[in-house]
Amino acid sequence: MAAAREAAEREPVRGPLSGVRVVELAGIGPGPFAAMTLADLGADVVRVDRPGGGSLAIPAQYDVTNRNKRSVLLDLKDEEGREAALALTDRADVLIEGFRPGVAERLGVGPDDCLARNPRLVYARMTGWGQEGPLAERAGHDIGYIAVTGALGMTGPAEGPPVAPANLLGDYAGGSLYLVIGVLSALHHARGPRGEGQVVDAAIVDGTSHLTAMIQGMLAAGAWQDRRAANLLDGGCPFYGTYATSDGGFMAVGALEPRFYARFAELLGIADEAPPREDVAAWGELRALIAARFASRTRAEWAEVFQGSDACVAPVLSLTEAPAHPHLAARGTYLEHGGLTQPAPAPRFSVTPTGVYAGPARPGAHTAEVARDWNVPSLTPSAASAASDASAASAASDGDARPASGTREVLGETPGALHDASEALSGTPDGPAPTVETPASEPADPFEGEHPTS
């Protein structure tokens, strides 16, 4: 026993969730991001990919949301594949799926199927509309989910349309992160005295609505107007917004508190001519004055003016510019792994540091490895052979960007040189496949109506 303990102590620490096993039924959007977050925190995440399954419209080697994971290739419509998936679930602490309600049940991997075999399992379900309600069966995307919560309606100019903040607000903030919160909470309960698993129903509409809690309180108190660009935090206030510079760049201003505003006005050079900031009727005049001043210099010049001050002003950077920002570079907020510049895991831990230990998992690349480590012999040999063929085909088609064995970037270590590279992402439809009439003798495809929210 002492030898085993010593061996365990020699193992590298890979995050506070080390030892937690997660099965992810492959999808796109918030489910994979949530699974990546758990993997970044140290969980052993096995992604169950299926032959010909959907993914982001980019080569697998660039899908950063599949980093730190392992992948097996299983056909859940096949009895052998389904049994192998259930065998993995028997040994897991968490299962994540993102199908539309009822699809997992039709495949034979629903909550009842899995919890009957593993009563301590946390069965985490990620959807846009939730498991119940009038829209539960409908297709959707991030923009539609946040639209009905009121969150999208808060963005954009007063006289223009709302502005979609990519898919960050719904898919990832209102979806993925709430799924992770649910998983960790349910896992804590499952490991407590009662030792029981449960289903976590994470819906993007619920999570995004929850994010508006403070604003709803301000609305009820009369401190928020239910219209765009009319409030303190939505661009209505002239000292909380963005302004164009002479070179086409932008500066972000958030000088809300009086002492920060005073420093802002001083450095901007408007302290002697600006109307009182408390005079809401003069906000139009103040906004025009601020805009004129910012338009007189470049973004770089203004960034230098405000550098090191408490004026609460920052340059608006692009995705390719962000990794080189001095503060982010000093913290190692971005790192390079396998030739890909990517955000480092967050948050940070003093005792159980996190890191990027493996690049994006290729579909089926780890079938034999997982079969051994999780003691699921049903994954091999036929499954491993098929997975190996699929992985080889993938590598041949898009090149191999995986790092050498053992290569890793750990927070706290100096990140490697950063590459300025970007890939355009093509959207993947988040709806059912076209409806096809099937003869009565042929069962409908159980993946029909799959719900990979995005």
Give catalytic residues, as residue numbers. Answer: 141, 171
Q: What is the DSSP string of 130-157?
A: -SSSTTTTS---HHHHHHHHTSGGGSS-
Q: Which helix (H) or strand (E) holds 253?
A: strand 250-254
Residue 454: exposure state from Cβ atoms within 10 A (0-12, 13-18, ≥19): buried
DSSP annotation of 170 reads I
Question: Which residues are 252's β-sheet partners?
Answer: 242, 314
Q: What is the DSSP string of 296-314?
A: TS-HHHHHHHHTTSSS-EE
How distant, in Å, are the alpha carbons of 210, 231, 257, 429 from that of 218?
14, 10, 18, 37
CA distance 181 to 345: 16
Residues 6+ apart with CB under 8 A from 314: 251, 252, 303, 306
Q: Do residues 359 and 68 lie in contact, with contact meaning Cβ atoms separated by under 8 Å?
A: no
DSSP annotation of 175 reads I
Helices 204-211, 142-149: axis angle to 10 degrees equals: 50
Q: What amino acid occupies position 386? A: A
The residue ranges of DSSP E strands in 204-246, in sequence order, are: 240-244
Q: Do residues 85 and 378 lie in contact, with contact meaning Cβ atoms separated by under 8 Å?
A: no
Residues 6+ apart with CB under 8 A from 215: 154, 224
Task: Name the one residue in this structure whose structure tokens are 């289903």.
Answer: 199
Cβ atoms within 10 Å, residue 52: 8
Task: Name the one residue in this structure whose structure tokens are 């003093």.
Answer: 350
CA distance 264 to 309: 9
